[in-house]
Amino acid sequence: MSTLDSPADADPAPSRRELNKAATRQAITDAALALLRGKGPGNFTVEDIAEAAGISRRTFFNYFSSTDAALASIVHGFLDNAIQQLRLRPADEPLLESAQAALVALADPKAVAPLAELFSLTQQSPLMAHTELEAWDHCRAQVFMVARERLAGTPSEEDELYVHALAGSVMSCGKAAMEVWFNRRGPDLSPASLGELRQLLIDAMALLGAGFTTPAPSTSRSS
């Protein structure tokens, strides 16, 4: 919270029930990722996840509809955090600058690591690829909403093509950065590799902002 914020502006502290639900959800996600890491896509069940997370099968379905949905929540979590950072940017800041700043705010490699690991572990799984695509599409819809809010009262406000193209391009650049990173680094999740992924995400937004008229900065290239 900044010094300009008053206590009345602060979000209320989460209740114990909310904290417990968040902890259970995280335990399910962690268990699913650990099983994916150890057994590979499609080689474990809801029951396996529930047992590893220390919960019942019924409790699992209170949070997720399938094993793939539990894994996809990793993508949703990262992208939702990015959207939250995007919404915190100044309303009069150009959207692409805001998108780049939102990615910089997620600078901690620990924030990127689960997303990167999931991406590297599911490249050979068509079903998981589809589930991840749905997560990215959900985020595209959120970017669309932010763009609509930012463009309210401007000449572009009623331009459906502009807003849709802008939101779609932001997400396409994010996915392109992930693909380039995986092609270069494979399953490498070292701090240097995750740092390169972060830089690729930033560089992709910079390319979009420049209208793809300049080459990617050398900082995004592996040494």
What value does the mean pLDDT of the chain take? 81
How far is 27 from 150, CA to CA, in rounded Å?
36
d(CA 75, CA 133): 10
**Structural domains of the chain in order of their starting residue, each with its CATH number:** 14-64 (1.10.10), 67-218 (1.10.357.10)
Question: 136-139 contacts: CB < 8 A, separation 24 or more?
Answer: 136/75, 136/79, 136/171, 136/174, 136/175, 137/171, 138/76, 138/79, 139/76, 139/79, 139/80, 139/82, 139/83, 139/171
Closest C-alpha among 201, 153, 145 to residue 176: 201
User: With 50 as the cut, is the pLDDT of residue 156 above it?
Assistant: yes
What is the spatial distance between Cα 68 and Cα 218, in angstroms, rounded to a whole number? Answer: 36
Crossing angle for the helix pair 160-185 and 126-151, to the nearest 10 degrees? 140
By percentage, how much of the chain surpasses pLDDT 70?
85
Of 213, 133, 211, the closest CA to residue 174 belongs to 133
Query: For residues 72 and 135, is the Cβ–Cβ distance under 8 A?
Result: yes
Q: Are 50 and 56 in contact (CB under 8 A)?
A: yes
- Mean predicted confidence (pLDDT) in 149-162: 72
- Record the tokens describing residue 34, joined without a space: 């650990």
pLDDT in tens, 106-126: 767 777 888 888 888 877 677
Structure tokens at 220: 């995004």
Q: How confident is the model at residue 1 (pLDDT cuts 50, 70, 90)?
A: very low
Could you read off the pLDDT of 23-46 as tens digits, one per residue?
999 999 999 999 998 998 889 999
Q: Are 63 and 72 in contact (CB under 8 A)?
A: no
State residue 195 phi and psi, 5-degree precision.
Answer: -65, -35
Q: Say what the pLDDT of residue 29 is.
A: 93
Distance separating alpha carbons of residues 60 and 64, to the nearest angstrom: 6
pTM, 2 dp: 0.72
Higher-scoring residue by pLDDT: 31, 168: 31
CA–CA dist 218, 223 (Å, integer): 10
Instruction: Provide the percentage of residues in the chain whose pLDDT is more than 90.
Output: 20
- 10 has pLDDT over 60: no
| 212 Rama class: left (phi>0) / alpha (psi -120 to 50) / beta | left
Please report, as a single letter, which amino acid is at residue 134. Answer: E
Given a contact cutoff of 8 angstroms between Cβ atoms, the answer to whether 100 and 205 are in contact is yes
